[in-house]
Amino acid sequence: MPAEPGAGAAEPLGQNHVRRLVALRFAWFYVAMFGTFGLFLPYWPVWLAARGLSASEIGWVLGVSFWPRIVTSLVLPLWADQHGTRRRMAIWLAAITLLGLVVFGLVQDYWLYLLLSLITGASYAAILPLGEALCLHSAARHRLDYGRIRLWGSLCFMLVSVAGGYGLERWGAAIIWPLVLLGTAATLQACWTLPEIALKGGSPARHALGQLLRRPGLISLTIGANLIQASHALFYGFGTLHWRAAGHSEGTIGWLWAEGVLAEVLLFALGSVLLRRYHPCSLIALAGLLAAVRWLGDSLTTALPVLVVTQALHAASFATTHLAAMHALRSYLPATLQASAQGFYSALGLAPMFAILTPLSGWLYTQLGGQAFLVMAALALLGAGIVLTARPALRR
C-alpha cells in the first residue's frame, strides 16, 4: 500500500489518491470473491447433479463444507489478529482452495467429493473474514463507505449469475467447473493486492476469544443474525433445482438470481442512511421478518410474478442483515479484535447453522418440496426475536 502522504499543499490530492487506490483494491477483492459465489451458489448443485448425485447427496456435499469452518473461521482470524498476517494468510487459503477445486473436477466419487468439500470449505471460508476485517479497518481509517465498496461484489455476483445461466443453457453443466476455477484464481490474485495492516496491541488468541465471549449482547447478535442468514440454506442449495423442476429456463433462473443481487446492491448503496437513523439490531429484526415473508411466498408458488417479488426481498433477508451486523461489529469492538470478531461471527453462528441446515434442507426438500421453505420462514422469525434481545447491550 502506498505510504501515507506527507504534509504540504499537495496533501489533499495525495490523500484522495490513496483513498481511491485502497477502495479499488477492496472492490476487486469483493468482485473476485462474489463473482465466484455467483457461479457456485446457483450452479454448483447443478454440476453435482450432472455428476450423478441425488438431492440428499448434494445436501451432504454442500453441508460438510461448513463443518471445518466452525474451527478455521474462528482460529485462523484469531491467529491473524495476534500476528498481523491477515493478507498473507488469505493468500495461502486461496491457493489451497484453488488446488482442491482442481482435484474436484478430476475425480468422480461421492466420498471424495465429501473429502474435498471439507478441505475447500475449511480454506475458502476463512478468506472472507480476513478480507472483511481489513476492509472495515481501512474504511474507518480512510473515511470510506464500506457498503459502497462491498456492492461491487454484489454487482459482479449479479452479472456472473446471469451469464452462468446462459452458459449453462448453451454448454451444459460441464462449463461450471472451469468457470469456478477461473473465479478462484481471480480471488487468489485479489488477495495479493490487499494491503497488510499491522495493528499493535493484538491479544493472544485465547485472550481475544475471552474478550469476545464477555461482550454483552455479542452472542445474541451473532446467533440471531446468523439464523436469518442460515434460513437461506434451502434456497442456496436447491433454489435453482426447484425452479428448473417448475419449468423455468436457465436464462430466467439467472435473471431471478440477478434480481435478488440487484436489490442487494441498492441496499448496500443506500444502507448508510438507514444505519445513521436506526439501531442495527432493529434493522436486523426487520430483515428477519421480511425474510419470513420471502420464504412464505416461495413455499406457496413458483409462479414467475411471485418469484420476482420474493427475490426483491433479498435486499432485506441478506443485505440488510449483513450490513447491519458488520456495522454493529465495527462499532462495538476495537480494531485489534476485528478479524477475530469476523471469525467469531462466522464460526459461532454461520458455519454450524449452515453445516446442519444444508444437509437437512436436502432431506426436507426430498420430503416436502417447496413447502420446506416454511421451515426457513420459522428460522428467520426466531432469529429476529433473538437479535432484539441484544439491542440493550449494544452501543451504537
- Does 339 reside within a domain? yes
- Does 8 reside within a domain? no
In this prediction the pTM is: 0.68
Per-residue cell: 236? 442456496
pLDDT of residue 335: 63
pLDDT of residue 6: 37
Average pLDDT over residues 302-316: 94
The pLDDT of residue 80 is above 90? no
- Does 277 reside within a domain? yes
What residue has cell string 494468510? Answer: 89
pLDDT of residue 83: 62
- Does 196 reside within a domain? yes
CB neighbourhood size of 19 (10 A):
16
pLDDT of residue 212: 64
- Does 10 reside within a domain? no
- Does 233 reside within a domain? yes
The pLDDT of residue 10 is above 50? no
pLDDT of residue 293: 96
**Residue 96: which domain range?**
15-393
Answer whether 278's CB lies under 8 Å from 266's CB.
Answer: no
Q: How many domains does the chain have?
A: 1
- Does 289 reside within a domain? yes
- Does 1 reside within a domain? no
Answer whether 384's CB lies under 8 Å from 258's CB.
Answer: no
What CATH number should be reported for the domain holding residue 354? Answer: 1.20.1250.20
What is the DSSP secondary-structure string of 181-247? HHHHHHHHHHHHHSPP---TTPPPHHHHHHHHHHSTTHHHHHHHHHHHHHTTHHHHHHHHHHHHHTT
